[in-house]
């Protein structure tokens, strides 16, 4: 590996998924993993295998199917965690990595773990040695590293590298660091641990965005000697999120005068596609003004700016939007387009679907084609993601009719089909509410005998035109304090809302009426 190659470690499927309501099922995780593979990230942290059967299966499946990246499983310095991670990444063979972590800061030692420094050292070394029995690629993270005493951090780094760790990650777990201080800490470690200088081991960084400094801290660390950056697509993650992959990558590419000699292997033209996919799979929309991937990132409304762009793009754009995947949509399909044309366009867009999925999608495509003149790539992508986000459907929407106006009580009549033992039975009811969406959701509650509280609701236009497909994303609390994501798309926003809510209901019922109970996750 080049001395100044910066590895991109993507933790969208692990740390990113810890954001409330962002939980993804196996098909959604596989879709994201495949896109990360096309993006050419170096490491995919696929999950935390010990916390649930679902996470274990996801890490194991991704280890089998993704061939061009290291696949990592997270584990505490606990034997059962490490054993589960070892089993989950085993199908990846030499591409398997176990990422073990243990809190090291004084506040964590005293108030969370109740352990002294020498005890922490022993646990860390024992954890790394156990992980080395399963894989040759072992990463260690001293949780809350940015608030750990620098000299103790040096001692920890030396000990775990001697035990077999090839990467030592220094997390800014609570987003406490500032660039100058964090860069100095990384430099201190680089200068005092000889293995970091010889390349026997590398320093990684994992920064949280509580002060909005995750990207700045990560880049300061790179300049100080770090050679791996841990990040997520769109910067999603717990609390204020993580360092955004797209910002790290494009800063390295755009400011070569500052990051002279540094490189990363990311295929930047896949960035926008990755952003949109993660946004839809996680139910976390990208703000319009988000750097690189927001809809306004390359929009210029000022006349002065527009004039400058027309004369020379570089006057107001420091990046070519085509380099990150922005560009013109392909010629749209129509209702007359055949199955082969749709399948070819899906392949062009990078989707890998089974014949049964393509058949189901083609039926939806025809329905949409009957309602609007053109079916754009964005519409097609939304239909694909409807297929990917499907869970076992206890209930499906069969009929919806609403009555509303400023002089009448909004009323919705809903008929659902319930699948039971391979047979479908229909149930119908009506509800009233503050508006047509509220009425439809209450009718669904009456039929399904669930009580969901709508905690978040977002509507966006998927494509262009008055007949654009509308996509609804929502988060629902069914009384257990866990947010369940739902999404649905239709040219009718009331229908899209009903489909999104029903998607959340089915997710809720698919987990036995509650979210799978998980061990409390650590946060490197």
What confidence tens digit (pLDDT) does each residue in 375-410 have? 888 888 888 877 777 777 889 999 999 999 988 999
Q: What percent of the chain has pLDDT over 70?
A: 93
Q: Residue 360: pLDDT above 70?
A: yes
Q: Residue 495: pLDDT above 50?
A: yes
* pLDDT at residue 517, rounded to an integer: 39
Q: What percent of the chain has pLDDT over 90?
A: 66
* pLDDT at residue 518, rounded to an integer: 41
Q: Is the dihedral of CA 376, 380, 386, 388 positive or negative?
A: negative
Residue 490, helix vs strand vs coil: strand
**105 phi-psi bin (left φ>0, alpha ψ -120 to 50, beta other):** beta
The residue ranges of every structural domain in the chain are 7-282, 297-326, 339-388, 395-510
Q: Residue 301: pLDDT above 50?
A: no
Q: pLDDT higher for 142 or 298?
A: 142
Burial of 261 per CB tally in 10 Å (0-12, 13-18, 19+): exposed
Residue tagged 């239909």 (tokens): 383
Q: pLDDT higher for 254 or 471?
A: 254
CA–CA gap between residue 508 and residue 397 (Å, rounded): 16
Query: E strands of 55-172, at which residues?
Result: 70-76, 96-103, 137-143, 167-172
CA–CA gap between residue 30 and residue 66 (Å, rounded): 9
Q: Residue 166: pLDDT above 90?
A: yes
What confidence tens digit (pLDDT) does each residue in 75-119 have? 999 999 999 999 999 999 999 999 999 999 999 999 999 999 999
* pLDDT at residue 513, rounded to an integer: 62
* pLDDT at residue 330, rounded to an integer: 63
* pLDDT at residue 169, rounded to an integer: 98
Residue tagged 């990846």 (tokens): 92
Question: Band of the pLDDT at 514, cuts 50, 70, 90?
Answer: very low
Question: Band of the pLDDT at 515, cuts 50, 70, 90?
Answer: very low
Cβ neighbours of residue 309 closer than 8 Å, sequence gap 6 or more:
300, 315, 316, 317
Least confident of 2-6, 37-41, 276-280, 384-388: 384-388
* pLDDT at residue 328, rounded to an integer: 60
- For domain 7-282, the question of CATH label 2.160.10.10 is answered with no
* pLDDT at residue 522, rounded to an integer: 57
Strand partners, 7: 228
Phi, psi of 382 (to 5 degrees): -65, -40
Q: Residue 140: pLDDT above 90?
A: yes
**Full 3-state SS string of 365-385:** HHHHHHHCCCECHHHHHHHHH
* pLDDT at residue 310, rounded to an integer: 57
pTM for the predicted model, two decimal places: 0.83
Choices 3.30.160.270, 3.40.1410.10, 3.40.1390.10, 3.10.180.10: CATH for 395-510: 3.30.160.270
Supply the mean pLDDT for the chain.
90
Q: Residue 497: pLDDT above 50?
A: yes
Question: Band of the pLDDT at 520, cuts 50, 70, 90?
Answer: very low
What confidence tens digit (pLDDT) does each residue in 199-241 have? 999 999 999 999 999 999 999 999 999 999 999 999 999 999 9
The tokens for 440 are: 């439809």
Cα-only R_g, the chain: 24
**432 phi-psi bin (left φ>0, alpha ψ -120 to 50, beta other):** beta
């Amino acid at each position: 590996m080049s001395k100044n190659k910066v590895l991109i470690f993507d933790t969208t499927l692990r740390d990113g998924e810890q954001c409330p309501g962002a939980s993804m099922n196996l098909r959604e995780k596989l879709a994201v993993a495949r896109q990360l593979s096309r993006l050419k990230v170096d490491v995919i942290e696929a999950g935390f295998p010990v916390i649930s059967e679902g996470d274990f299966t996801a890490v194991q499946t991704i280890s089998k199917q993704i061939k061009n990246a290291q696949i990592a499983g997270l584990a505490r310095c606990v034997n059962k965690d490490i054993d589960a991670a070892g089993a989950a990444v085993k199908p990846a063979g030499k591409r398997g990595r176990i990422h073990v972590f243990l809190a090291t800061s004084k506040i964590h030692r005293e108030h969370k773990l109740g352990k002294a420094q020498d005890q922490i050292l022993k646990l860390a070394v024992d954890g790394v040695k156990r992980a080395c029995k399963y894989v040759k690629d072992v990463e260690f993270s001293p949780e809350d590293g940015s608030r750990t005493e620098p000299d103790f951090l040096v001692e920890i780094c030396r000990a775990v590298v001697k035990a077999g760790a090839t990467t030592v990650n220094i997390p800014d777990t609570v987003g406490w660091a500032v660039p100058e201080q964090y860069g100095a800490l990384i430099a201190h470690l680089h200068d005092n641990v000889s293995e970091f200088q010889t390349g026997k081991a590398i320093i990684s960084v994992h920064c949280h965005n509580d002060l909005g400094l995750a990207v700045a801290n990560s880049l300061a660390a790179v300049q100080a000697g770090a050679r791996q950056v841990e990040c997520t697509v769109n910067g999603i993650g717990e609390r204020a999120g993580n360092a955004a992959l797209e910002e790290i990558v494009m800063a390295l590419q755009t400011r070569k005068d500052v990051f002279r000699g540094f490189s990363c292997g990311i295929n930047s033209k896949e960035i926008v596609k990755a952003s949109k996919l993660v946004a839809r799979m996680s139910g976390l929309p990208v703000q319009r003004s988000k750097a690189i991937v927001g809809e306004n990132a390359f929009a210029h409304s000022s006349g002065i700016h527009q004039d400058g762009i027309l004369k020379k793009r570089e006057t107001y754009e420091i990046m070519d939007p085509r380099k990150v995947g922005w560009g013109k949509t392909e010629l749209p399909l129509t209702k007359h387009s055949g199955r082969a044309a749709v399948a070819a366009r899906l392949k062009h867009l990078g989707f890998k679907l089974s014949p049964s999925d393509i058949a189901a999608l083609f039926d939806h495509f025809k329905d949409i084609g009957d309602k609007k003149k053109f079916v754009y790539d964005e519409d097609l992508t939304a239909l694909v993601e409807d297929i990917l986000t499907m869970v076992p459907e206890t209930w499906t929407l069969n009929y919806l009719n609403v009555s509303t106006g400023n002089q009448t009580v909004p009323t919705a009549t809903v008929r659902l089909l319930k699948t039971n033992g391979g047979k479908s039975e229909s149930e119908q009811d009506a509800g009233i509410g503050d508006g047509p969406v509220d009425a439809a959701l209450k009718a669904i509650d009456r039929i399904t005998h669930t009580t969901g509280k709508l905690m978040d609701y977002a509507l966006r236009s998927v494509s262009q035109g008055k007949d654009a497909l509308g996509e609804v994303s929502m988060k629902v609390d069914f009384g257990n304090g866990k947010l369940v994501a739902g999404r649905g798309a239709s040219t009718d926003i009331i229908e899209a809302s009903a489909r999104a809510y029903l998607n959340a209901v089915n997710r809720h019922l698919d987990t036995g009426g509650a979210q799978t109970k998980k061990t409390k996750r650590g946060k490197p």
